[in-house]
Structure 1
Amino acid sequence: MAANSMPAHRRLPFVATVSIILAAGIMLTPLLWTLALSFKANAALVGNSAAALSPPYTFENYQAIFGNQLTMRWLLNSLIVSSGTTLGVLILCSLAGYGFARLEFRGRALLFVFVLMGLAVPGQALILAQHRLFAIVNLHNSYPGLILPGLTTSFGVFFMTQFMRAIPKELDEAARLDGASHWTIFTKVILPLTIPAQSTLAVFTFLGSWNDYWWPLISATRSDMFTLTVGLASAQMNYAQTSGLGYLMAQAVFASLPIFMVYLIFQKQIIAAMAGTSLK
């Protein structure tokens, strides 16, 4: 009765709010379930994962992760590789985006189409040639060998190009009247306006690099050069029968914490870029 008496202009926001809360609850349930399992003793979860709903809880699964002497090394490797890849992608894609969006040169459209064709080529199709190339230049088991393949991203070039095309070209013309060069226009005028897009691209790139398993598994053959994803997977494969479900969930939580922190830092820029309000 009370719901029917609610004015129509207030009923719609109420329904939308309830729907969002329900959708968020559905999406958060697996994450909360994983977190609960990670704090349960492995013996308590054998044959009954519902034990995660009741105490006692323990930190022994996380202690087991840090008990591995290589864990912090793997974490450092992932941070170096993901940060280096993200920085390289931002620099290269911003430069390429400016060239495609703001400069006029012969063959620009054809070259842009060629770049976009990279979106249709799966990385697995290039893995043999890529592995052979890096073996010839002796870059396996090194940070450059883990970082360089991630710098070639057609999506990043397309994303930055489209964002820069939306910036009014009158800004370029005004800067040229003041005697600004292309480099000055790029660094002083265009680049500051693309911070929301760069933040979004940085999060996507960092996330993809952090979760990458395929190339680090192939390129890094020494345990001290493993990234966190490869290292934790190797530990799980070695001790799968004794570590248990709780340890596996603790690994998932531990590996995802840096991604969560990155999103918290850049959430405002991501929302602005997705909403298309960064230029208003």
Structure 2
Amino acid sequence: MNAMLRRGWFDRLLMLGLCLLALAWMLPLLWVLGLSFKPNELLQIRTDLVFAPPYTLANYLDIVQSSQVFRWLGNSAWVALCQTVGVLVLSSLAGYGFARTEFPGRKLIFAIVMFGLAVPPQSTFIPLHRLFSDWNLQNTFAGLILPGLAAPFGVYLMTQYFKAIPMDLEEAAMLDNASRLKTFLTVILPLTLPAQATLGIFTFLGCWNDYLWPLVIATNPDMYTLTRGLASTQTNFAQSEGLGFLMSQAVFAGLPVLIIYFFFQKYLVTAVAGTGR
């Protein structure tokens, strides 16, 4: 009885500690959200009255009134969607190949793919830019999408998830004269929905928030993504003269990703648990 009582107090203290850590993690986000509704004139004087009136929607109206903001929003949505679909297709095929098939050099190729996790993306900007410039892909959707299709993390995640699926299911399908492709599409792939959702969230999030590659490859304002376009509207004194406008841009750019994560968050835990089996 005493052991159960101590365990109950321990669980309560642990939950309290987690809630405090979550609150500490959310405070910067709440601060940004509060600043986005404050008048810029007031923020030039003081920034400590974040959660006290007055409030204004002027910062968000300034974003909406920008002539190209919705074009940038559409560009980001299209690039992120295409890149997410491409990564899911390629990572699923590669992961199934590494997990379920035997071919010469499989372990070596997989090790090379995993080595890509240790290569900083910034280190490949110069060769990628020269390559895409030679191919006349600068200021094109292909130039924005193609580099992100190389996803070592996606290959690793899908490989581990396919390994966790029992072989009996695949063998039973093949005994019914199902081809490997049909088995993959109708039996194995539907079981990887949690991993697919998780990889899709991470890919979409990374592409949506990417700033450096669009900064390099997109020089035409009509091809700007949302992060690149919003950054181009900021002045050198945005932090002091338009802090509320700057914070509203951060909220506006992050809101679509937050909505997507809200609908797919239940798959994250399932996918991580599946890779550890």
Say whether 1:105 aligns with 2:109: no
Specify the SS of the correspondent of 2:177: coil
Q: Which amino acid aligns with 2:77?
A: L
* Residue in structure 2 matched with residue 82 of structure 1 by the alignment: 80
In structure 2, do the counterparts of structure 1 residues 92 and 80 end up closer, same or farther at CA, with 3 Å as the change threshold?
A: same
Say whether 1:123 aligns with 2:121: yes
In structure 2, do the counterparts of structure 1 residues 260 and 241 end up closer, same or farther at CA, with 3 Å as the change threshold?
A: closer
Unaligned runs of 5+ in 2: none
- Pairs within 5 Å for 1:197-212: 197-212=195-210
In structure 1, C-alpha distance between the alignment counterparts of 2:43 and 2:239, rounded to whole Å: 13
Give the deviation of 1:132 after TM superposition: 1.4
In structure 2, C-alpha distance between the alignment counterparts of 1:44 and 1:74, rounded to whole Å: 30
In structure 2, C-alpha distance between the alignment counterparts of 1:220 and 1:239, rounded to whole Å: 24
In structure 2, do the counterparts of structure 1 residues 241 and 94 end up closer, same or farther at CA, with 3 Å as the change threshold?
A: closer
Q: Which amino acid aligns with 1:173?
A: E
- Pairs within 5 Å for 1:171-190: 171-190=169-188
Specify the SS of the correspondent of 1:265: helix
In structure 2, C-alpha distance between the alignment counterparts of 1:166 and 1:241, rounded to whole Å: 49
In structure 2, C-alpha distance between the alignment counterparts of 1:19 and 1:276, rounded to whole Å: 27
In structure 2, C-alpha distance between the alignment counterparts of 1:63 and 1:111, rounded to whole Å: 51
* Residue in structure 2 matched with residue 264 of structure 1 by the alignment: 262
Q: Is the 8 A contact 2:138 2:218 kept in 1?
A: yes
* Residue in structure 2 matched with residue 234 of structure 1 by the alignment: 232
Task: State the TM-score, normalized to the length of structure 1.
Answer: 0.93
Q: Which amino acid aligns with 1:154?
A: P
In structure 2, do the counterparts of structure 1 residues 242 and 18 end up closer, same or farther at CA, with 3 Å as the change threshold?
A: closer
Give the deviation of 1:41 after TM superposition: 0.1
Q: Which amino acid aligns with 1:58?
A: T
CA RMSD between the two structures: 1.9
Judge which range, 20-29 or 140-149, deviates more.
20-29
Q: Is the 8 A contact 1:141 1:222 kept in 2?
A: yes
* Residue in structure 1 matched with residue 132 of structure 2 by the alignment: 134
In structure 2, do the counterparts of structure 1 residues 16 and 242 end up closer, same or farther at CA, with 3 Å as the change threshold?
A: closer
In structure 2, do the counterparts of structure 1 residues 202 and 175 end up closer, same or farther at CA, with 3 Å as the change threshold?
A: same
In structure 2, C-alpha distance between the alignment counterparts of 1:117 and 1:63, rounded to whole Å: 46
Specify the SS of the correspondent of 1:263: helix
2:44 pairs with 46, 58, 61, which one?
Answer: 46
Give CA-to-partner distance per residue, 1:201-241, whole Å, 9 cap, x none.
Answer: 00110111011111100111101110011111110136737
In structure 2, C-alpha distance between the alignment counterparts of 1:114 and 1:24, rounded to whole Å: 37
Task: State the TM-score, normalized to the length of structure 2.
Answer: 0.94
In structure 1, C-alpha distance between the alignment counterparts of 2:211 and 2:174, rounded to whole Å: 46
Q: Is the 8 A contact 2:205 2:257 kept in 1?
A: yes
